[in-house]
């Protein structure tokens, strides 16, 4: 097990387990409540597999009324709840609590409405990200945010994590593509926000919910916007003798006013791992590889590709290849898309990190990572959403070697702190979860974090929903609400008044 501690379970709640299971069975009939240990095993971890915990009980509701009743019951009886989608979180967001109900939303798996004229699709939260595109692609549409986990991850999880993908550079993250939500608060209240219109009214609760990591409410319905598929897409595969030149090429492409559909970079260890695995034809003799994809009308794509070739040449690219068929384009991507499993082949275990940096800091951060690797005695392979500065260092380790997991975690934390040091952030798309929880202080002050936690108090005053995630120190809402203002002082004699 890793080194991050979870809040101490409440023995009194655990002692009431039978009673809680019985009450939940009265709400969700039949197989919707799971309390047998062997059946609960599949829920004990998400994709941050170093952490495992059996929940008190698992519930799989399939109606909004059931979700509301479960939450109301847990609220009244002070029982914690951890929402779960497909369980692909890389930050431990869906890690169960020993004294909490695990609420799986995967029975909410229906596409409710496809509205092409308004370019909107209404789905239940357990529909997979790719499931949305599958439902509309026959008619030439797609859902733009495309996390690499899109085959498996749920749209509810995407909302909770504000997930992104290769195409987020041009088409935005989840938050830019959600039009409406239905959610249930911990009290059981059902709230609908937004719809098929473009801007939601009042305070922007869509913004607050997206990226809230399951701490504010349980999402029971999602309206997303879909886009018409671009007329064509072509990709360029460009190799460089150094990461500096690659980084400069990225800056120059953007400086030329070009926002590609995707722009991904890999370093040498990642290139080799991917090439050995899928034989995508990547050059092995380069330090950095860039895949630039352009999508849109044919005339535009051809025009911009020629500009990009010029820019690459000016930056001393040693290989430049441009796709001439859909098959060739897919081959370029095959290696990048298989980067995680490819690294999984060369190392028994790996930790996937997720910091974002200002693009210009890339050479410095890559050099820093090499030094840190030596310090911790571990290797790292890098894949990088180069267009938006989002790094995914994959730290290679072997959990069977005593101390290596701890070293990998320490290495990861050092990398993220380096990201913050150069002006970046702890997580670009995977979420804080438990993984980066204790690093939050590197980016935020006490006051910053307390104001965030007060937002939670507006939604979940008893702090029962997904506790132990995101925030390093839990404060009671009553304590957070206290004001410390000195009475009656008449200040600022020198502020201009009129």
Partner 1 sequence: MAETLKPRDARELLDAVKWAIAGDEPLEVISAGTKRDFGRPVQAGHVLDLSGIAGIVDYEPAELILTVKAGTPLAEVEAALDERGQELAFEPMDYGPLLAGEAGRGTIGGMVGANLAGPKRLKHGAARDHILGLEAVSGRGEIFKAGGRVVKNVTGYDLPRALCGSWGTLALATEVTFKVLPKAESEATLIIAGLAPQEATEAMTRAMGSSAEVSSAAFLPGGLAAGQGLSGDATLLRLEGFGPSVDYRFESLVRLFGKDAKIERLDQAASKALWKALRDCMPFAEGAGPVWRCSVAPTAGAGLVADLSRSLAVDAFQDWSGGLVWLRMTGSDPQAEAVRAAVKRAGGGHATLVRADSSLRNTIPPFEPQSEALAALSQRLKAQFDPSGILNPGRMVAGH
Ligand X SMILES: Cc1cc2nc3c(=O)[nH]c(=O)nc-3n(C[C@H](O)[C@H](O)[C@H](O)COP(=O)(O)OP(=O)(O)OC[C@H]3O[C@@H](n4cnc5c(N)ncnc54)[C@H](O)[C@@H]3O)c2cc1C
Nearer to ligand X, 96 or 247 (CB): 96
Nearer to ligand X, 154 or 463 (CB): 154
Q: Which two tokens mark 409?
A: 């975690």
Point out which span in 78-86, 268-276, 407-415, 416-424 binds ligand X (CB under 6 A): 78-86
Pairwise CA distance, residues 429 & 356, whole Å: 9
Picked from ligand X, partner 1, none, the partner binding residue 165 (CB below 5 to 8 A depending on kind) is: ligand X
Nearer to ligand X, 101 or 439 (CB): 101
**Is residue 485 near partner 1 by the rule CB under 8 A?**
yes
Q: Which two tokens mark 354?
A: 């997720």
Picked from ligand X, partner 1, none, the partner binding residue 203 (CB below 5 to 8 A depending on kind) is: partner 1
Of 477, 418, 475, nearest to 446 (Cα)?
A: 475
- The DSSP result for 224-254, as a single string, is EE-EEPPSEEEEEEEEESSHHHHHHHHHHHH
Nearer to ligand X, 239 or 467 (CB): 467
Pairwise CA distance, residues 271 & 263, whole Å: 15
* 30, 402, 403, 491: which one binds partner 1 (CB under 8 A): 491
Pairwise CA distance, residues 184 & 188, whole Å: 6
Q: Total residues at the site for ligand X (CB under 6 A)? A: 36
Nearer to ligand X, 311 or 396 (CB): 396
**Is residue 429 near partner 1 by the rule CB under 8 A?**
yes
* 391 beta partners: 355, 384
**Is residue 85 near ligand X by the rule CB under 6 A?**
yes
Q: Which two tokens mark 224?
A: 């997303």
> How does DSSP classify residue 154?
B
Of 318, 320, 166, 313, nearest to 237 (Cα)?
A: 320
Pairwise CA distance, residues 147 & 159, whole Å: 12
Alpha helices in 347-461, H assignment, sequence order = 362-376, 404-421, 440-443, 446-459
**Is residue 462 near partner 1 by the rule CB under 8 A?**
no
**Is residue 31 near partner 1 by the rule CB under 8 A?**
no
Report in angstroms how near the CB of residue 165 gets to ligand X at its nearest.
Answer: 5
**Is residue 86 near ligand X by the rule CB under 6 A?**
yes
Pairwise CA distance, residues 60 & 24, whole Å: 10
Q: In what order do the strands lie in the sheet with 80-84?
A: 33-34, 57-59, 100-104, 80-84
Provide φ and ψ at 138, rounded to 5°: -60, -25
* 178, 219, 305, 361: which one binds ligand X (CB under 6 A): 219
325 to 354, contacts with ligand X by CB under 6 A?
A: 340
* 32, 55, 61, 87: which one binds ligand X (CB under 6 A): 87
Q: Which two tokens mark 56?
A: 């008190």
Cα 327 versus chain centre, distance: 29
**Is residue 458 near partner 1 by the rule CB under 8 A?**
yes
Pairwise CA distance, residues 322 & 328, whole Å: 9
**Is residue 487 near partner 1 by the rule CB under 8 A?**
yes
Inter-residue contact 387 to 260 (CB < 8 Å): yes
**Is residue 185 near ligand X by the rule CB under 6 A?**
no
346 to 385, contacts with partner 1 by CB under 8 A?
A: 356-360, 385
**Is residue 478 near partner 1 by the rule CB under 8 A?**
no
Report in angstroms how near the CB of residue 425 gets to ligand X at its nearest.
Answer: 14
Pairwise CA distance, residues 25 & 105, whole Å: 16
* 218, 226, 439, 443: which one binds ligand X (CB under 6 A): 218
Report in angstroms how near the CB of residue 250 gets to ligand X at its nearest.
Answer: 19
Pairwise CA distance, residues 157 & 105, whole Å: 9
Q: Which two tokens mark 414?
A: 């050092």
Point out which span in 153-161, 237-245, 331-339, 410-418 binds ligand X (CB under 6 A): 153-161
Provide φ and ψ at 189, rounded to 5°: -70, 135
382 to 411, contacts with partner 1 by CB under 8 A?
A: 385, 388-390
216 to 255, contacts with partner 1 by CB under 8 A?
A: 216, 228-231, 251, 254-255
282 to 341, contacts with partner 1 by CB under 8 A?
A: 296-300, 303-304
* 9, 195, 241, 283: which one binds partner 1 (CB under 8 A): 195
Report in angstroms how near the CB of residue 176 gets to partner 1 at its nearest.
Answer: 5
Point out which span in 44-52, 150-158, 402-410, 448-456 binds partner 1 (CB under 8 A): 448-456
Of 479, 220, 485, 253, nearest to 388 (Cα)?
A: 253
Answer positive or negative: Cα dihedral of 323, 325, 331, 333: positive
**Is residue 45 near ligand X by the rule CB under 6 A?**
no
428 to 447, contacts with ligand X by CB under 6 A?
A: 429-430
Can you give the binding site for ligand X, defined by CB under 6 A?
A: 46-47, 82-90, 93-94, 105, 125, 147-149, 153-154, 156-158, 160-161, 163-165, 213-214, 218-219, 340, 429-430, 466
């Amino acid at each position: 097990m890793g080194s991050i501690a979870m809040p101490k379970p409440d023995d009194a709640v655990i002692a009431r387990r039978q009673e809680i299971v019985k009450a939940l069975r009265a709400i969700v009939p039949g197989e919707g409540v799971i309390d047998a240990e062997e059946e609960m095993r599949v829920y004990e971890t998400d994709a941050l597999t170093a952490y495992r915990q059996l929940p008190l009980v698992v519930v799989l509701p399939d109606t909004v009324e059931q979700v509301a009743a479960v939450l109301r019951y847990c609220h009244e009886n002070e029982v914690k709840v951890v929402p779960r989608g497909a369980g692909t979180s890389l930050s431990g967001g869906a890690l169960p609590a020993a004294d909490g109900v695990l609420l799986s939303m995967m029975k909410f798996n229906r596409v409710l409405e496809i509205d092409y004229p308004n370019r909107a699709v209404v789905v239940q939260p357990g529909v997979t990200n790719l499931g949305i595109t599958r439902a509309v692609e026959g008619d030439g549409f797609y859902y733009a945010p495309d996390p690499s986990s899109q085959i498996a991850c749920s749209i509810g999880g995407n909302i909770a994590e504000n997930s992104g993908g290769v195409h987020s550079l041009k088409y935005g993250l989840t938050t830019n593509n959600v039009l409406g939500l239905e959610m249930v608060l911990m009290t059981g209240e059902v709230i609908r926000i937004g719809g098929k219109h473009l801007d939601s009214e009042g305070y922007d609760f869509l913004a607050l919910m997206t990226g809230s990591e399951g701490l504010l409410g349980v999402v029971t319905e999602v309206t997303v916007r879909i886009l018409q598929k671009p007329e064509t897409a072509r990709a360029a595969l460009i190799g460089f003798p150094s990461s500096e030149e690659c980084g400069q090429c990225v800056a120059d492409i953007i400086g030329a006013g070009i926002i590609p559909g995707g722009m991904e970079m890999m370093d040498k260890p990642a290139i080799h791992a991917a090439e050995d695995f899928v034989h995508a034809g990547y050059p092995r003799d380069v330090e950095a590889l860039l895949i630039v994809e352009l999508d849109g009308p044919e005339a535009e794509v051809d025009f911009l590709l020629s500009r990009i070739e010029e820019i690459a040449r000016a930056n001393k690219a040693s290989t430049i290849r441009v796709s001439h068929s859909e098959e060739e384009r897919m081959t370029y991507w095959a290696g990048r898309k298989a980067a995680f499993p490819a690294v999984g082949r060369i190392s028994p275990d790996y930790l996937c990190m997720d910091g974002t940096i200002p693009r210009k800091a890339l050479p410095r951060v890559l050099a820093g990572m090499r030094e840190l690797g030596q310090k911790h005695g571990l290797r790292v392979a890098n894949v990088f959403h180069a267009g938006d500065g989002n790094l995914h260092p994959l730290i290679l380790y072997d959990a069977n070697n005593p101390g290596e997991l701890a070293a990998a975690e320490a290495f990861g934390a050092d990398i993220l702190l380096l990201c913050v040091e150069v002006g970046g952030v702890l997580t670009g798309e995977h979420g804080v979860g438990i993984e980066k929880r204790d690093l939050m202080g590197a980016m935020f002050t006490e006051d910053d974090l307390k104001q965030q936690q007060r937002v939670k108090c507006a939604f979940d005053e008893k702090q029962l929903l997904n506790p132990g995630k995101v925030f390093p120190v839990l404060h009671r809402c009553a304590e957070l609400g206290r004001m410390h203002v000195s009475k009656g002082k008449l200040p600022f004699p020198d502020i201009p008044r009129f």
